Structure 1
Amino acid sequence: MEFPIAAFHSTYSYHRMAPQNRISLDPKDNGKDSSFLPESWTNKLWPSSSETDGSSFCPCPKGFMPKRYIVAVLACFGFMIQYGIRTNLGIAVVDMVNNHTLGDLQVPAPFHWSQITVGIIHGSFFWGFLLTKVLGGYLAVRFPANRVFGASVLCSACLHMLVPVAADLHYGVLIFIRILQGLSEGMTFPSSYGVLSKWAPPLERSRLTSIMVTGQYAGILFGMPLSGVVTEYAGWPYAFYMYGAFGITWSVIWALCVWESPAKDPTVSEEECLFIEKSLGEFYQGTNHQSTAQDTPWRDILTSPPVYAILVTDTAFKWTLYLLLTNSPSYYMQAFDMQVEASGLITGMPFLFLALCLPVAGSVGDWMRTKEVMTTTNVRRLFNTVGLSVEALCFLIIGCTNSPVASMTLLSVGMASAGLTLASGYNVNALDISPRYASIIMGLSGAIATFSGILCPIVVGTITYDKTAKQWGYVFIISAVILISSVVVYFFLASGETQPWSNPKPRPDDDDADEEDVFVKKSKIPEWMKKPKVPEWLRTAGDGKPSEPEPQDEAAAKDAGKKATDKLMAQPVVDDGSPIDWVDGSTNFVQIAPEDPYMYNTERDF
């Protein structure tokens, strides 16, 4: 469809224009009620749609990937690299503390660390990871989220390249590096939601989020075998150098290609930019508004039921995620006497199905909202309930089975169903209830869910002290109960509507604040001076008769003002331009023609 944006591109340089100087996207401002644009143009700029946010229409060029999808794909690769970094140490540490072969050579263990020391090295990552979850969300609101996201991956990659050197110095130095890595990576997930809050239209949030989140599980799926191959044939230090190089290269590409918002991106098309920002309503909320700690509605966030629904569900899902990440190989080895190689292969299968399910579930969820099959709230409830309930059912059956094939199949089905809730359930819900503060909400959620990663290994180790299949069954049954509990909480507390506290009131120094409000706030004019009340004895029509009372209706007031102006302009005037009535005093407001003021009847010399 022809889109006439180029016709006024030369007049309005859209990308370099301050938000308050751009053409408004509100039809009542300069659209169909304005003579600025022809009606045929405004019909294309503001097409009729059953969606209130207008996000079902996008005049993007066909045959080319829209920029918002490029942003999501690049974020996906960023997550792949970072989750590959997380899994890399677990693979490399085997050769770091044990005798191993490198090609045809027998290599002695370079480090003699105890199991407790190795456990502390692994756990130290979460010490830093926990601390910056909320901080990362706040920084993504306070500063451009794309920079926070890119800096997080870059710092983690650079620190990862220092691991071999740190390990050679002392394991205490390595623990310090791991803490710094956790501090860096803790900001990645919440800041990614800050990026999507500026780039994802409401009806495409599930799709774009699922593309981005797929990188996490693809990083786990491909990261483990890739690290194993590099460690076996090149040596364990090169696995760290490889992922560090990947992260640095990606950071450069991200910095060059991704901007804070469509309005600031010179490479995005005018059509896509208008579409995204109109659907998000950024022109009404102010794209240049940067929140501070005082602006953030902390009390409202911490007392919001929909926020608690997200927190509880995320904590429950992360329990099952960390269970599979850290204990799946041990489960297959202890319950079914499998070899390490076979258990490692089977462990990756559930994440493969999860990664495949995410984009499909995200597209279906967006389709249901676009076609108005369900409201956003009901779509989130449906996908969350079905996804986690099926996963819980699979875990219950696993707790009662003694077959490794059945267990592997049920775990794969369970994780695939979890893709429903990640793509169109709670994992996207923060963007629904508060696009502006989604990064803070997900940072808070991630911080609380991190305790699942800390507590899960402890609980599993306590229950499976005899390493029997029956004890492992108890672990999966407990996990199923946790999932069902979160489903109930989310169903009753969740919401898909934007919360009242999401959009803060504009400050007087905001560029997009109303000019009248700014004047009133800065000058502090008293209320009684804004609308002076005229006494009844002054309201006369010039003939001594009381005039009609002031109209209360705004339209009537405008009409009365127009009539008064027309009457005044129609009156004859004297030489000085004043109406005759002003001279003869037939009205209350008398203006006498000046008699040579300040000249004292002397002749002017100019």
Structure 2
Amino acid sequence: MAAITNSSTSHDLCSSTRKSIPSSCHSLASSPHLNFVSFRKTKLGFESKKLEWSRGRKEEWRKWSVKCTAEGIDGGMFVRRKSREEDGIVVVRSIPERYKVVSLLACVMCLCNADRVVMSVAIVPLAAKHGWSSSFLGIVQSSFLWGYIFSSVIGGALVDRYGGKRVLAWGVMLWSFATLLTPLAANHSTMALLAVRAFFGLAEGVALPSMSTLLSRWFPNTERATAFGISMAGFHIGNVIGLLITPIMLSTIGIFGPFLLFSSIGLLWAMTWTYRVTDDPLESNFISRSELRLIQAGKSASLKKSNKFPPLGLILSKLPSWAIIFANATNNWGYFVLLSWMPVYFKSVYNVNLKHAAWFSAVPWATMAISGYLAGTASDFLINAGYPTTFVRKLMQTIGFIGPAVALICLNYANTPTVAATLLTAALSLSSFSQAGFMLNIQDIAPQYAGILHGISNSAGTLAAIISTIGTGYFVQWLGSFQAFLTITACLYVLTTVFWNLFATGDQVL
């Protein structure tokens, strides 16, 4: 994700001002604004110059290069702070501020998903303790979605108006509080438990719109897909962490252990986030001038918070908006079918015990994190190579839907659990290419209203997840196998891909 620079431009600009160096370079070199600069070691041919010039000439050339890079012409993965000591200048490496922001976002997305998984695992001992029926387990599991389906739209509108920093910070604190209350509510009454889980979903609904908006402000267009891939990798790793840590803590500490752990982490994250991050890099006290210029130069337009709630009628009147909405719904349909029913699938079809079924359910999420990052990197590479944004978004989304469709069709013919696990892993891994498709396309077509559009599409996806999760159970009970529903899901992937390629665009329409 290193920043892309144009060394030839830097060389020409510096060459054109070479005559004025003696009078201006000294004053600029001593300016307090030169605290942060970035270097490329091989771009300007320093080594060949050193062989020709005297020691004094080399010092003058070095000062002149500091001026050029300090003006924001050059960039790199690391910025360097210049400080003086008795024997010369010492260069200290510093991580760019935008990478610290994306690291914090990846951590909170990991926590977001881990908090969901905790309940999926802890519900087993809770059900045994309180004597819950199988039908009530389904109600408890779905109660999270009751709040989540509404908060996505509301949260997206709040992000557009107030910015992602405050909305995400409040969301994390509220869902961490709900996580802490979950085992207490379960011991109190079933209604209290359902209310807390619905509140938990309500708080978590702001996470994705906030992340999407913040990344669009903190990263140039040429790095945005990779940054999104890193953030979503954290989201998928949250599944793995939740599935691995929760059973251990339940068996050693008890039912309160994992809930207390993850809620505490959430509150610590919120304190770090509030102190360190701003809605826009222009407001940050930690960013260097060269990095700020790099970010601004890589954006097609300036994004500002809107003082009014966005026009829903205008957003829904555009076919590219509906392409995103349908893509999100289809993506969540397939995602939650696999998430909710994989353990049952392995148990009923291949008679694999629940311990191994849980392992088959956990492994694909790790590979999904890797493939999502690779999809983002490939997307940025293609855009930097000159391919149109529309082409790249359509290509990534096509891979993200046609790949899982083929894998699910082949799954109907799998005859061993190993082959089935491989196909399911391939389906989830390829579906992560959608992150570089419809998810990034939200910022492409509606940068000013990205939060509300993300919320609308996420609500449609949540509704699809509820329908698919319940529908799978009815289909399996009705037909006695998973094949029919897997085939329906594959057909839905194909139909949405056709609609996407007809109406999606990488150009701004709102």
Same fold (TM over 0.5): yes
Which of 134, 140, 145 lines up with 1:121 in the alignment?
140
1:199-219: per-residue Cα shift (whole Å, max 9, x none)? Answer: 121111110111111111110
Paired with 1:11 and 1:226, the residues of 2 have a C-alpha distance of 48
Cα drift, residue 60 of structure 1: 5.8
Cα drift, residue 264 of structure 1: 0.6
Paired with 2:398 and 2:491, the residues of 1 have a C-alpha distance of 14
Paired with 1:258 and 1:89, the residues of 2 have a C-alpha distance of 30
**Cross-structure match for 1:199:** 218
Instruction: Give the residue type in structure 1 aligned to 2:316.
Output: L
Paired with 2:139 and 2:359, the residues of 1 have a C-alpha distance of 26
Cα drift, residue 115 of structure 1: 2.5
Judged with a 3 Å threshold, the aligned counterparts in structure 2 of structure 1 residues 353 and 10 are, in CA distance, closer, same or farther, namely same
Cα drift, residue 280 of structure 1: 2.3
Determine whether 1:292 maps to 2:308: yes
**Cross-structure match for 1:150:** 169
Question: Aligned runs of 1:88-107 on 2, under 5 Å?
Answer: 88-98=118-128
Cα drift, residue 42 of structure 1: 9.0
| Range moving further from structure 2, 426-435 or 85-94 | 426-435
**Cross-structure match for 1:507:** none
DSSP 3-state at the match of 1:203: coil
Judged with a 3 Å threshold, the aligned counterparts in structure 2 of structure 1 residues 407 and 6 are, in CA distance, closer, same or farther, namely farther
Paired with 2:450 and 2:26, the residues of 1 have a C-alpha distance of 32
Paired with 2:419 and 2:79, the residues of 1 have a C-alpha distance of 48
Work out whether residues 354 and 419 of structure 1, in 8 Å CA contact, stay in contact via their aligned partners in 2.
Answer: yes
Question: Aligned runs of 1:395-544 on 2, under 5 Å?
Answer: 395-422=408-435, 424-465=436-477, 468=480, 471-499=481-509, 501=510
Paired with 1:6 and 1:390, the residues of 2 have a C-alpha distance of 59
DSSP 3-state at the match of 1:496: coil
Work out whether residues 194 and 436 of structure 1, in 8 Å CA contact, stay in contact via their aligned partners in 2.
Answer: no
Work out whether residues 405 and 493 of structure 2, in 8 Å CA contact, stay in contact via their aligned partners in 1.
Answer: yes
Paired with 2:450 and 2:158, the residues of 1 have a C-alpha distance of 12
Larger-gyration structure (1/2): 1
Paired with 1:57 and 1:445, the residues of 2 have a C-alpha distance of 36
Work out whether residues 75 and 291 of structure 2, in 8 Å CA contact, stay in contact via their aligned partners in 1.
Answer: no
Work out whether residues 58 and 271 of structure 1, in 8 Å CA contact, stay in contact via their aligned partners in 2.
Answer: no
Cα drift, residue 278 of structure 1: 3.0
Instruction: Give the residue type in structure 2 aligned to 1:292.
Output: K
DSSP 3-state at the match of 2:482: helix
Work out whether residues 148 and 203 of structure 2, in 8 Å CA contact, stay in contact via their aligned partners in 1.
Answer: yes
Cα drift, residue 279 of structure 1: 2.4
**Cross-structure match for 1:83:** 113
Corresponding pairs, count: 448
Which of 303, 317, 327 lines up with 2:331 in the alignment?
317
Paired with 1:401 and 1:385, the residues of 2 have a C-alpha distance of 24
Judged with a 3 Å threshold, the aligned counterparts in structure 2 of structure 1 residues 43 and 189 are, in CA distance, closer, same or farther, namely closer
Which of 348, 363, 375 lines up with 1:349 in the alignment?
363
Work out whether residues 91 and 224 of structure 1, in 8 Å CA contact, stay in contact via their aligned partners in 2.
Answer: yes
Paired with 1:484 and 1:183, the residues of 2 have a C-alpha distance of 32
Paired with 1:333 and 1:311, the residues of 2 have a C-alpha distance of 34
1:512-531: per-residue Cα shift (whole Å, max 9, x none)? Answer: xxxxxxxxxxxxxxxxxxxx
Work out whether residues 336 and 465 of structure 2, in 8 Å CA contact, stay in contact via their aligned partners in 1.
Answer: yes
Work out whether residues 136 and 440 of structure 1, in 8 Å CA contact, stay in contact via their aligned partners in 2.
Answer: yes
Instruction: Give the residue type in structure 1 aligned to 2:389.
Output: T
Paired with 1:217 and 1:11, the residues of 2 have a C-alpha distance of 43
Instruction: Give the residue type in structure 1 aligned to 2:359.
Output: L
Which of 211, 215, 221 lines up with 2:230 in the alignment?
211
Judged with a 3 Å threshold, the aligned counterparts in structure 2 of structure 1 residues 265 and 398 are, in CA distance, closer, same or farther, namely same
Work out whether residues 60 and 272 of structure 1, in 8 Å CA contact, stay in contact via their aligned partners in 2.
Answer: no
Judged with a 3 Å threshold, the aligned counterparts in structure 2 of structure 1 residues 61 and 472 are, in CA distance, closer, same or farther, namely same
Cα drift, residue 387 of structure 1: 2.6
Specify which structure has the higher proportion of helix: 2
Determine whether 1:230 maps to 2:249: yes
**Cross-structure match for 1:61:** 79
Which of 368, 372, 378 lines up with 1:364 in the alignment?
378
Which of 326, 340, 348 lines up with 1:334 in the alignment?
348
**Cross-structure match for 2:268:** 249
Judged with a 3 Å threshold, the aligned counterparts in structure 2 of structure 1 residues 11 and 237 are, in CA distance, closer, same or farther, namely closer
Instruction: Give the residue type in structure 2 aligned to 1:449.
Output: G
Work out whether residues 72 and 290 of structure 2, in 8 Å CA contact, stay in contact via their aligned partners in 1.
Answer: no
Question: Aligned runs of 1:296-307 on 2, under 5 Å?
Answer: 296-307=310-321
DSSP 3-state at the match of 1:162: helix
Percent identity over paired residues: 23
Instruction: Give the residue type in structure 2 aligned to 1:428.
Output: L
Work out whether residues 381 and 490 of structure 1, in 8 Å CA contact, stay in contact via their aligned partners in 2.
Answer: yes
Work out whether residues 343 and 354 of structure 2, in 8 Å CA contact, stay in contact via their aligned partners in 1.
Answer: yes
Instruction: Give the residue type in structure 2 aligned to 1:433.
Output: I
Cα drift, residue 402 of structure 1: 2.7
Paired with 1:89 and 1:185, the residues of 2 have a C-alpha distance of 14
Paired with 2:217 and 2:202, the residues of 1 have a C-alpha distance of 25
Unaligned residue ranges in structure 2 (runs of 5+): 1-6, 15-24, 35-63, 81-92
Paired with 2:76 and 2:154, the residues of 1 have a C-alpha distance of 35
Work out whether residues 202 and 432 of structure 1, in 8 Å CA contact, stay in contact via their aligned partners in 2.
Answer: no
Work out whether residues 59 and 271 of structure 1, in 8 Å CA contact, stay in contact via their aligned partners in 2.
Answer: no
**Cross-structure match for 2:399:** 386
Instruction: Give the residue type in structure 2 aligned to 1:112.
Output: G
Work out whether residues 58 and 275 of structure 1, in 8 Å CA contact, stay in contact via their aligned partners in 2.
Answer: no
Work out whether residues 143 and 194 of structure 2, in 8 Å CA contact, stay in contact via their aligned partners in 1.
Answer: yes
Paired with 1:185 and 1:384, the residues of 2 have a C-alpha distance of 25
**Cross-structure match for 2:37:** none
Cα drift, residue 9 of structure 1: 10
Paired with 1:43 and 1:165, the residues of 2 have a C-alpha distance of 57
Paired with 1:349 and 1:5, the residues of 2 have a C-alpha distance of 58
Work out whether residues 192 and 439 of structure 1, in 8 Å CA contact, stay in contact via their aligned partners in 2.
Answer: no
Cα drift, residue 436 of structure 1: 2.2
1:212-269: per-residue Cα shift (whole Å, max 9, x none)? Answer: 1111111011211111110111111111111111111111111122111111110011
Judged with a 3 Å threshold, the aligned counterparts in structure 2 of structure 1 residues 276 and 476 are, in CA distance, closer, same or farther, namely same
1:279-320: per-residue Cα shift (whole Å, max 9, x none)? Answer: 2255xx474x53312xx2433211112111111111111111
Work out whether residues 306 and 448 of structure 2, in 8 Å CA contact, stay in contact via their aligned partners in 1.
Answer: no
Unaligned residue ranges in structure 1 (runs of 5+): 14-37, 48-55, 99-108, 502-606
Cα drift, residue 112 of structure 1: 2.3
DSSP 3-state at the match of 1:231: helix
Paired with 1:146 and 1:436, the residues of 2 have a C-alpha distance of 16
Determine whether 1:177 maps to 2:196: yes
Instruction: Give the residue type in structure 2 aligned to 1:73.
Output: S
**Cross-structure match for 2:18:** none
Instruction: Give the residue type in structure 1 aligned to 2:396.
Output: F
Question: Aligned runs of 1:263-278 on 2, under 5 Å?
Answer: 263-278=282-297
Work out whether residues 175 and 203 of structure 2, in 8 Å CA contact, stay in contact via their aligned partners in 1.
Answer: yes
Instruction: Give the residue type in structure 1 aligned to 2:405.
Output: A
Paired with 2:325 and 2:242, the residues of 1 have a C-alpha distance of 28
Cα drift, residue 420 of structure 1: 2.0
